[in-house]
Homo-oligomer: A and B are copies of this chain.
Amino acid sequence: MLAFTSGKLIGLIILLFGLSLGPEMALADDPTTAELATAINTMWTLLAAFLVFLMHAGFTMVESGFTRSKNTVNIVMKNFMTVALGVVIFFIVGFGLAFGADKGGFLGTTGFWLAQTEGMDFGIPLLAFWFFQAVFCATSATIVSGAMAERTRLMSYLVFTVIITAFIYPVVAHWVWGGGWLQKRGFIDFAGSTVVHSVGGWSALIGAALVGPRLGKYGPQGEVHPIPGHNIPMGALGTLLLWFGWFGFNPGSTLSGTTPAIASIATTTLLAASAAAIASMVFSWARYGKSDLSLTLNGALGGLVAITAGTAVVSPTGSLIIGMVAGLVLVLAVEFFDRVLKVDDPVGAVSVHLVCGALGTIMVGLFATEGGLFYGGGAALLLTQLIGVVSVGVWTSVLAFISFKLIDIIFCLRVPKEEEIEGLDLGEHGMQAYNFKLATEVIAGEEAEGLLQAGQARRPVGQGA
């Protein structure tokens, strides 16, 4: 690796003496082009990671917007703690399992608490790589909260967050990105349709099925009662923030700003999401008589999830097709889980992340310009992709099932019925998300007025001191 050892020292000295030093700041010797390339790659990776971090704001907005206002504080808390807890757990445990020295192609064994990282070399500073991977890991975990929203205990959710960020996700990341068996087999999941999104999606499916549907979601004869989200523009803002963050998620996964591939990755990401949004809108319009915004927003996300695996290896036209397919399938998948399987997923997380994630990963086998079936590459890659999707699915769903069952026994997965009716915000947090008042409103402790008139000690200055 291209080390900055001397630069680092000088850097520290500069830091110790403030920021405004002049020409001395320039390194004694001009940097080499290799050093500059590393700097560019580091910067790119960090900026991309910041965008991925912002995706957590996107998830928070989407999941609050598409659920009811009595559970908003709770869902915000879950999303917020996912990133806080997730990166700390990934620091302590997950990173080592994912990117430590390989053991049998199955998991990593060094790098816990960022110790024993000597041999590791990612072309950029270790911490830049770690940071990027940490926010990725938290992204996978946060998918679960949406599908299980409005009825899952905070404590139970947090325990699962620890499990997925400490173990379930890191092992899969090792298989595909950390030198594990799927990577060796040539499995292509560029930025994580499977590693990030399907892992989250499978967990979401198992969790939502085990925790059961929200009260009132299905009638006694199994009829479906829609439970509309309370704040659709908030959900739309979240979707746009996610889309924005995806420009870090996908192009940033190069870990390199010097490769011109970042331009085509950004392009396929943009086109797939757009095509998916169009497809979902048109399809929902045709199918239900009116264009459904919530499905259109989901559709764009489905397109983003689907392109994530192949973003670097498909053409712009390929990305348009992948997006379109994802947008159509998304609508059907939402219907399927909602009406046929009757798994209650308030925000469509399973359809977006699991279905479109698997679909997108498989479509790499068709659309990869090198090795894809439609480009004359035969079925070998397609088979590999299928193996990857299935094995990750089995791994994740088995572990998620065991985890949720154990959590249920120990902590109880679901809040009590009364709390669910009243809302988790009051039950778990003693707090309400909104307090809209009339223009002239009731102020608490009106008696304070009398106090003011009586001339108390803490008379506000503004009253003519």
Contact = CB atoms under 8 A, between A and B. Distances in A.
Contacts of A50: 51, 244, 247-248, 266
A436 B423 CA distance: 13
User: Dominant SS at the A interface?
Assistant: helix
Interface string A176-202: 111100010010101000000000000
Given A260-B7, A440-B421, A450-B220, A296 B266 contact: no
Given A83-B274, A413-B462, A433-B231, A236 B46 contact: no
Given A259-B11, A448-B219, A210 B461 contact: yes
Could you say how many copies of this chain the assembly holds?
3
A42 B261 CA distance: 10
Given A16-B313, A42-B260, A228 B435 contact: yes
Contacts of A32: 30, 33
A440 B461 contact: no
A74 to B, nearest CB: 8
Contact of A154 (B128, B260, B291, B456): B291
12 contacts: A8-B260, A18-B177, A22-B122, A25-B256, A36-B258, A73-B293, A84-B274, A128-B260, A211-B460, A220-B456, A225-B445, A225-B448
A46 B431 contact: no
A370 B444 CA distance: 52
A305 interface: no
B7 A259 contact: yes
A429 interface: yes
Closest 9 CB pairs of A and B: A414-B462, A212-B460, A128-B263, A22-B121, A57-B240, A84-B277, A127-B263, A84-B274, A125-B263
A152 B461 CA distance: 11
B179 A444 contact: no
Nearest to A426: B439
Interface in A44-82: 44, 46-47, 49-51, 53-54, 56-57, 60-61, 64, 68-70, 72-73, 76-77, 80-81
Contact of A34 (B26, B80, B430): B26
A80 B296 contact: yes
Interface in A404-420: 404-405, 408, 412-415, 417
A270 interface: yes
B460 A429 contact: no
Contact of A46 (B23, B262, B462): B262
A46 B263 contact: yes
Contact of A264 (B61, B125, B212, B213): B125
A447 interface: yes
A76 B38 CA distance: 41
A459 interface: yes
Nearest to A297: B80
A127 B42 CA distance: 22
A434 B439 CA distance: 9
A240 B54 contact: yes
Given A215-B443, A440-B422, A266 B432 contact: no
Contact of A462 (B179, B253, B415): B415
A93 interface: no
B443 A216 contact: yes
A234 interface: yes
Given A84-B281, A423-B439, 4 more contacts: A18-B179, A22-B122, A127-B264, A417-B463
Contacts of A312: 12, 15
A444 B215 CA distance: 8
A81 B278 contact: yes
A434 B39 contact: no
A106 interface: no
A429 B258 contact: no
